[in-house]
Structure formats: C-alpha cells, structure tokens
Chain A
C-alpha cells in the first residue's frame, strides 16, 4: 500500500510542478517613458538574453552575425544567445519568473496562446510609439503574428512551401500544375521492382511523409481551418474532401502497405540520405530552406522548384502556397524590455539584418524592403519561394488557441484515412470538427 501514495504524490507533484502564477520580473514594455525616435545611444547599457530555435552551426553563426550588426548600432547592449529552444521552454521560463529578454519560436502554433495568456507582451504600444510601419507586411503574416488585436510577436523570417522535382527523373516533363496532373505524373515516374515493391516513387502521397502535413497540403486546395468564431471548418469546407479523395486515390494506386514499407525504408529528412537527393522520390512538397540544404548536402543534384499543384477546380490558386515563419517577441517579465524591444525591432525591420539572416539561412525575409533588396541572394530555385510568399492567395494556419491540437486532430485522421480505416469520409471529417470544437469550448472559446 505504501507505493500507492508515493506514486500518486510523485505524479501529483509532476502535474502541479508549475502551479504557481508567473512572477513579474521586469517593467512592462512601453511602461517606461521613451520619446519617439530616441537615438540608439540613449538606451542605457544592458545585458540581454535571446532564446532562439536555431541549432545548426551555420544557422547559429548567421544569427550571431545579425546580432553583430545590432551591436554596432547599440554597443552598450550585450546580447547573449541561447540556441535550440522550444516553445514549451519559453512558456515554462515565463511561468517560473525567469524569462529571457527576447524569445523566438520556429512555429506560429503558440502565438494565439501566448497573446491570449500574456506570455509575450503586446507590442502595439511600442510599435505605435516608435512609428514602426507594418503596412509592408503581407496580410498572411499579420494573420500569424497577432491574436484578437494583440500583436505579441513580430515576424522574423518566413518559410514558403512549394514543389521540388528531380529533373533527371522527370525526363523533360514539366512540373504539374493541378492535382490531376500530379497524379498522372506521379504514376508515370514511379518505378517498381520485379516483386512489385517501389523502387522510385513519383510522389509520396502519405500524410506521414516529411513535409506532407495537413497545413501544407491545405494550401493546394484553398482549404479553410476555422470559421470566424474559432470553430472548426474542416467538416464543412468541401476542399478538405477534395484533397483527401485525391490523396486516397493515389495511395491506393501504390497500395498502402507497399507505400508504407517504402516510406519506412527511406533516410532521415534532415540528413544527406534524404530520398529526394538519392533519386528515390521524383517530386515532393518542401520548404524554401531545402534549397540551402541541397546546396550543402547534394550539390550535384539537378532539380527544379515550382509552386504546389492545385485543385483542378481552382486554377487561380496556382502560384500560391503555404507560409508560416519564425516569430520573435518580448516575454512577460523580461528584465530589460526596452533593450529587448530595440533588438526585436532591429532584427525584424532592419533590412540589412533581415537580408544577412535570409542569405545565410535561406529563409524568406518578411518585409517588402528586404524582399526587394539587391543584396538578397536570388537564384532560380529560391525565386520560386519568394514569388509564392508574395502571392496574395498564399495562406497560413490562422492563429488559434488550440492550433497544435487542431492540426494533430486532422493529421491523426488523415493517417487513419489513408490506411483505409475510415469508411465514411464525411462522417470522419465531422468527427474531427466535433473533437476540435469540444476542445475549443473547454479552452473558453
């Protein structure tokens, strides 16, 4: 019997380890009086800490280089960088009363929660105070950096998704523009072994394959995630049904078991053994960052990039794609919020800083000035993604308090669907709605 209370106590302690409210560690952003247009040298000396998600040496170096530009402008502010940080760490640090001065996230999934619960400070007062012009940001970027009128993060860099194709395997064929063209070409380019197993896949239609997420795919059919009131639109928007029927048809053509076995034999997504490099996959959906990776890991690969193919019934979507990016802000309780804001402003609005980062990491810069900068490295592969980002029909997953939960609910459903475990697609998608809406209600929506 003694084990039970011990186990329960341990579990309860684990669950409640963070059940005290976050402490205020520093003054709120904008609470300190600072006239508009203050010269950089007017800010007092400070040491600030910036947490970010980059971890590869080249990315960390690029970030350090961008900070060096900040230090030239603000020599009195020392910046300490902490790499490889995930969203949960930021949230817990704020809760524990020891947040960094500046924090950056690779995803936009937590933005709504952070804005709503105040994990990140509202930047609107200082944006207004400093006269920062955000009119150059595309509407889609506005969608993922604010929630219910609160702008608690700024866009740092962004990712755009499109189609990569192996020119040697394509044998002169043009990249597909519609889903039916993609299906046709995928079948033509697929090579099977004598025993029927897959040797080369034209396109892997599994939702479990690398960047084949519901979020990225949704852009191909212009699918909607939520209604204006925050409830799920997945079951009522016929675009999802179009997408999933297209996917299932191609999965069935390969044979689920066959495709699954092939998928599991493939190398890691973030290594030199990526099947696209090895000529095992002819076409695939991927982010613009793959351009830099290919240059490093498979420099001899002869490939092309194009916008994602789109729903045959919506040809006007062609040229658009999916975008979501890195965000950066000032957490609640930051010890030096003014210095932190100076850094955030510099990294997100200074054209040199954005171009330095974009060139080194090969991400898309978010401001119009940076996009048009002659210093921005452009090549035919990368230009595709700049165009996708600039396309007015390019979409994102709008900020939602249960963003991750919603995506996982749909992704889990797609896994069951492609396997053939779902008999009634309409009922299944309505079930996804029900799951998402119940959770939304629980979250106070």
Chain B
C-alpha cells in the first residue's frame, strides 16, 4: 500500500463506507428508473416484449383517462394538501392554547390517524351515505339537503379531503412539538413591542416552524401524488362493488372523479397488462413529483428570505 497515494486510499475507503448506500441506490433507484424508461418503449404484457418506439407516449397524449387522473391528482395536491396542513396547524395551535385537558384533546385529535386506512375509509363512506348515513340525516334536521358525497362527482374529492383532514393526527403532533419549541421570550418581547396575535404568528411562529411546514408540505405532496388506497376503497364501497373473483371494477367511481394517476397506473399495468404504457405513466408521476417538490422548495426558500 506504500505506493498508493494517501488521497486515493482515502477515496477507496470512502467508497467502501458508501458501498451499502451505493448498492441500495443502484438496485432500488437507478435500475428501476432506467428499466422504467427502457420498458416505456416496448409493448410489454408481462410476458412478451415487443419494441414499439414512441407508441406508448403517443397513446398517453390521447388517453383521456390518464389526463383525467392527472387533473384529479392535481386537484388533490392543490386542495387536499393545503387543507390538511392548515387544519393540522390550526388544531395544533388550538391545543397549545388550552388551559386544561391538553392530554385528552391531543389524544382525541391523534386517534383517527391510528385507525387503519381501509376501516376509516369504509366508515367514512357509510357515514356520508346519502340515503342511510347519519351525516345527511343530521343535515336534513336543520333543513339542509346533504349532497350525495361519494356518489356525486362534484363532492367525491371534497369527501376524500374531509377524510384526509379527519386523519391528520400525525402532522398535528409534529406541529404541536414545533409550536411548543418556539421560545416564549420572543412572544413576550413582541407583546411588549405591541405586536398582536396575527403579527406574532406571522413574524415569530411561522418562521420558527418553517422547517416543519416544509417537511409536511413536501411529504404531503409526495404522499398525495401517490394517493391510491382511500380513493380506491371509497369508490368501491360507494359503487357497491366487492373485490371478489369474477368481478371487474374500474377505479374512479363516480364518473372517474376519484381516479388518481397511481390508480390508473395500477389498472393499466396489472389489470390491463399494458406494462409498457404503465411505465410511461410512472415516469409522468416521477416528473410531477420532482416538479412539485422543486417548486415547493423554491417557495420556501423565498419565504425564508422574506422572514429574514
């Protein structure tokens, strides 16, 4: 080893230490990504590969359902994520202001996030059933004719948003911890300077909890771009279709309003066996994840500069 320069030896050592990550990156990220790109140029029914050039991409341009699913997913990202974050922040803020029963309310708001996704979604659809659900019955008692929720294309996504807000406990707990970490003396100093509640929130709370806000926004967007389970279950329950042998079900009930891009990807790849085309959809999803995350990071950077 005497002849090997120190720098090169250190380089080898660094690579050695990094090797588990490099192997993981290669196997679980680089290879799947490259393979996705490769298969996107083929007609691949899971058994036979036939090169078809750009046919999958051309089909994507005319696939109305794909574009519909993209619009639905974008709706959820634009409405559901902010609704979740703001609601979680509001609830956390509320819990910090409580004089007593903090433990009780913290548990109460956190509990829904412990409910299994499937059970929670099924229960929600039953609660919001227009004919037999209690929500619309209560609404009718006060003279409001409740909507058809998961049976109406205009109300299904708001219904899913309500479900997401109900199970916001995880983010709420993180916000709660962040809010409790804001130094008290900053508020006291601001109060002496005459700052009101809103000014204190805007100039002290928000900048301090910025990393947590960014974390919840970025993870929320990525999670929502992959939104699958709740939409699939809600549409199945609302449509009254069970997943039994011999049945076929197209996601998106009612009228494709709950069809998200991951559901369409799954349907295309694993139900219609058009895996080459599903790879195109996966790449679109990947590009969307990148774009949204970059935009968010840029926004938060700007926010940081303003705050400073």
Contacts and interface: CB of A to CB of B under 8 A. Distances in A.
Interface of A: 1, 3-5, 7-9, 11-13, 15-16, 18-19, 21-22, 53-55, 84-88, 91, 95, 105-107, 109, 113, 116-119, 208, 260-262, 264-265, 268-270, 402, 404-405, 407-408, 411-412, 415-416, 419, 421, 435, 438-439, 441-444
B43 A442 contact: yes
Nearest to A332: B47
A118 to B, nearest CB: 6
A260 B278 CA distance: 34
A119 B46 CA distance: 10
26 contacts: A1-B293, A7-B222, A7-B225, A9-B29, A11-B285, A12-B286, A15-B265, A15-B278, A15-B282, A16-B39, A16-B279, A19-B35, A53-B246, A86-B243, A88-B271, A91-B46, A107-B248, A117-B46, A117-B47, A260-B151, A264-B131, A404-B271, A405-B272, A408-B248, A435-B64, A441-B55
Interface in B21-67: 28-29, 32-33, 35-36, 39, 43, 45-48, 50, 52, 55-56, 59, 62-64
B32 A12 contact: yes
A268 B148 CA distance: 19
Interface string B223-244: 0011000000000000110111
Contact of B250 (A7, A86, A408): A408
A416 B65 CA distance: 14
Nearest to B277: A442
A7 B246 contact: no
Nearest to A88: B270
Given A3-B219, A4-B222, A15-B265, A264 B130 contact: yes
Contact of B131 (A55, A106, A261): A261
A444 B277 CA distance: 12
B43 A443 contact: yes
B275 interface: yes
B290 interface: yes
B254 interface: yes
A15 B33 CA distance: 10
A55 B243 CA distance: 12
Contacts of A55: 244-245
B245 A442 contact: no
B28 A117 contact: no
A13 B246 contact: no
A408 B263 CA distance: 15
A13 B43 CA distance: 19
Contact count band on B:
35 or more
B286 A117 contact: no
Looking at chain A's contact residues, the main secondary structure is helix
Contacts of A8: 29, 33, 286, 289-290
B114 to A, nearest CB: 23
Contacts of A109: 248
B273 A113 contact: yes
Interface of B: 28-29, 32-33, 35-36, 39, 43, 45-48, 50, 52, 55-56, 59, 62-64, 129-132, 148, 151, 218-219, 222, 225-226, 239-240, 242-246, 248, 250, 254-256, 262, 265, 269-275, 277-279, 282, 285-286, 289-290, 293, 297
Looking at chain B's contact residues, the main secondary structure is helix
Given A1-B293, A88-B270, A91-B273, A22 B250 contact: no
Nearest to A94: B47
A441 B62 CA distance: 13
Given A107-B248, A109-B248, A264 B33 contact: no
B43 A117 contact: no
B55 to A, nearest CB: 6
A438 B148 CA distance: 34
Per CB-CB distance, the 10 closest pairs between chain A and chain B, nearest first, are A106-B246, A53-B245, A12-B32, A265-B131, A9-B29, A117-B47, A408-B250, A15-B282, A7-B222, A8-B286
Nearest to A15: B282
B290 A4 contact: yes
Contacts of B250: 408, 411-412
Given A15-B269, A264-B151, A268-B240, 16 more contacts: A7-B225, A9-B28, A11-B285, A19-B35, A22-B46, A55-B245, A95-B46, A106-B246, A117-B46, A261-B130, A405-B272, A415-B255, A438-B63, A443-B274, A444-B43, A444-B50
Contacts of B226: 7, 11
Contacts of A107: 246, 248
A72 B64 CA distance: 55
Residue of B129, B225, B246, B293 with highest tally of chain A CB at under 10 A? B246
Nearest to B46: A95
A110 B150 CA distance: 30
Contact of A3 (B52, B222, B262, B272): B222
Nearest to B292: A4
A56 B32 CA distance: 40
Given A264-B131, A268-B240, A412-B256, A86 B47 contact: no
